[in-house]
Chain A
Amino acid sequence: MILEAILIGLLGAIGILDGRIFGQMMFERPLVMGPLVGIVLGDFTTGIIVGATLELVWMGIVGVGSATPPDVTTGGILGTAFAIMTDSGAEVALALAVPIAILAQSLGILVRTINTSFIHRADKYAEEGNARKIVLMHWLAVGLFFLNGFVPNFLGILLGSEVVEGIVNAIPQTITEGLQVAANMFPALGFALLLQMTFTKKLSPFYFLGFGLAVFFGLDITPVAVIGAIIAVVIYQLMPTDKDKEVLL
């Protein structure tokens, strides 16, 4: 178990560092972390499926602006891991992943608060023209983020699995089924969060167009995305370039 815990801890560290020093290439997302957890714990397929379910739930949760969002990396990793270890489905993963993500979020907030001290020390080194020491301050903060990813995931696997198994076995059936219902509703929250970013009155018909294409014509996401891209390009070309743009926008 200790080896698995270390490996899962490292996955957590890589996931947290994705948005820090790997330029946010998106392997922090549950959709990617799920299969990796599956490989470590020996159930690849469950990892993929639970990862997809959690991704859907958290689709709208992203670190936009200055806010620190719920930690979907740690939530996704431990949720998937516990679902595999207790042999239960995505609904149990979700029930565990949501509170874990919120708990881990506070750890992230702590790190970002401590990091303030590094930039103050960097100020001093800047005054001295010491670039090397500034780089060191940067890396110390990176080190804290590494721990931010490693520690909760490592401890979660090491200490949590038995506790979690006990809890999962004690959950009555109505609640498990209710969680399944909630799991199916959750993506709506993700889309609502995305709408918050993009939805305006003028653009609203396009949302309903996408909905209609999927519901009435039974189209998949990929064909709808292709049609959407064509529509976007055509509208771009039709839009007046200069003077009349106020009329349209």
Chain B
Amino acid sequence: MEEQQINHQVSADQDQIVDKKTLRRVFWRSFHLQGSFNYERMQALGYLYAMIPILLKLYPKKSDLAAALKRHLEFFNTTPAVSSFVMGISTAMEEKNAREKGVFDSSSINAIKVALMGPLAGIGDSFFWGTFRVIAAGIGISLASQGNILGAILFLVLYNIPHFFLRYKGTFWGYNQGTTLLSSLYEKGNMEKVSYCAGILGLIVIGAMTGTLVQFTTPLEISIQGATVNLQETLDQIMPNILPLGLTLLLFLMLKKGVKVNYIMIGIIAVGILGKWAGIL
């Protein structure tokens, strides 16, 4: 009973130090994550920029502040859209550190950041880059290629609804229940399930786009014993759009073999020009 009361007091305290308003500032500043991106420590300075309102509030003493500022200048890199979640967790831990001075192990703050950025980037990239953006762009492009401005607008809206939702909510989830939320998700294997199913959706859409958006045909006609055979018609009988599918898979294999994207681009241009010149494409 007594213990519970003490816990209550602590959590009430907690609300007093870092209020909703300050957390909201972290949310807005999280948009700056890559503003000072550099090759040595990547998003570190941007991360600190977002944390500064919290740190100023928590550490009135200059020496404490200096230690906290240095702490958040360590290497950091993750998917920008999920960064606010990590910032929320850092906030909760900094607050604990400020309250339990000397008792709390401040090095754990960075340890958690480092432990989180890898897996979160994996999930974040597959969600935001591999799923949301692909679907939004696929829908946007099909409208825009007919000259419809709704294409660009829909693209932005479809992508940014989940983006803003997760970025905003993530700040508070991270702060309120960050560590417990994450460990429970990992224990139950829900995280893997979610990203596995996001992968399914992403792949289905990429498949559909391969079938509709790549135009790759051949005008080649082969004459066999006087009769001319249109190669494209024959291919269509085997399977429609077999050439775009084959091309995509071929390029995928080349990428997997480590061929540089820029070389592939130049190669495609060369193949296009030579193919046209030779009358194959």
CA distance A114 to B39 in the complex (A): 9
Stretch of A1-9, A59-67, A157-165 at the chain-chain interface: A59-67
Asked if B273 and A127 make an inter-chain contact with CB atoms under 8 angstroms apart, the answer reads no
A-B contact count (CB 8 A): 371
Asked if A189 and B275 make an inter-chain contact with CB atoms under 8 angstroms apart, the answer reads no
| Residues of chain A at interface, number, CB under 8 A | 115
| Residues of chain B at interface, number, CB under 8 A | 114
Q: Given the complex, which residues of B lie within 8 Å of A204, measured CB to CB? A: 203
Asked if A70 and B261 make an inter-chain contact with CB atoms under 8 angstroms apart, the answer reads yes
Instruction: Write the nearest CB–CB distance from B52 to chain A, whole angstroms.
Output: 5
Tell yes or no: B17 within 8 A of A by CB.
no
Q: Which of B41, B163, B203, B214 contacts A185 (CB 8 A)?
A: B214
Most chain B beta-carbon contacts within 10 A, residue among A175, A188, A228: A188
Tell yes or no: B69 within 8 A of A by CB.
yes
CA distance A228 to B198 in the complex (A): 10
Asked if B39 and A228 make an inter-chain contact with CB atoms under 8 angstroms apart, the answer reads no
Secondary structure call for the B interface: helix
Secondary structure call for the A interface: helix
Assess A245 versus B69: contact at CB under 8 Å? Given A178-B277, A220-B142.
Answer: no
CA distance A228 to B139 in the complex (A): 14
Tell yes or no: A153 within 8 A of B by CB.
no
B145 (CB) vs chain A CBs: closest residue = A52
Asked if B36 and A231 make an inter-chain contact with CB atoms under 8 angstroms apart, the answer reads no
Tell yes or no: A27 within 8 A of B by CB.
yes
Q: Which of A129, A180, A181, A195 contacts B206 (CB 8 A)?
A: A195
Tell yes or no: A169 within 8 A of B by CB.
no
A222 (CB) vs chain B CBs: closest residue = B139
Q: Which of A66, A210, A215 contacts B240 (CB 8 A)?
A: A215
Asked if B156 and A25 make an inter-chain contact with CB atoms under 8 angstroms apart, the answer reads yes
A44 (CB) vs chain B CBs: closest residue = B149
Q: Which of A52, A179, A213 contacts B272 (CB 8 A)?
A: A179
B265 (CB) vs chain A CBs: closest residue = A98
Tell yes or no: B21 within 8 A of A by CB.
no
Q: Given the complex, which residues of B lie within 8 Å of A17, measured CB to CB? A: 35
Asked if B262 and A236 make an inter-chain contact with CB atoms under 8 angstroms apart, the answer reads no
CA distance A17 to B70 in the complex (A): 26
Tell yes or no: B126 within 8 A of A by CB.
yes
Asked if B251 and A188 make an inter-chain contact with CB atoms under 8 angstroms apart, the answer reads yes
Asked if B31 and A21 make an inter-chain contact with CB atoms under 8 angstroms apart, the answer reads yes
Assess A31 versus B206: contact at CB under 8 Å? Given A49-B145, A196-B256, A228-B201.
Answer: no
Stretch of B8-16, B58-66, B174-182, B221-229 at the chain-chain interface: B58-66
Q: Given the complex, which residues of A lie within 8 Å of B147, measured CB to CB? A: 45, 48-49
| Apart from A221-B142, A225-B208: 15 A-B pairs, beta carbons within 8 A | A22-B31, A29-B137, A31-B144, A55-B137, A55-B141, A115-B36, A123-B73, A129-B62, A134-B52, A142-B36, A174-B276, A180-B272, A210-B208, A219-B208, A235-B197
Interface of A toward B, CB cutoff 8 Å:
17, 19-27, 29, 31-32, 34-35, 44-45, 48-49, 51-53, 55-56, 59, 61-62, 64-66, 70, 95, 98, 102, 112-116, 118-119, 122-123, 125-129, 131, 134-135, 137-142, 145, 174-175, 177-189, 191-200, 203-204, 206-216, 219-222, 224-225, 227-229, 231-233, 235-236, 239, 241-242, 245, 249
User: Which 5 pairs, one residue from A and one from B, show the smallest C-beta to C-beta distance?
Assistant: A210-B207, A182-B272, A178-B273, A141-B36, A214-B211
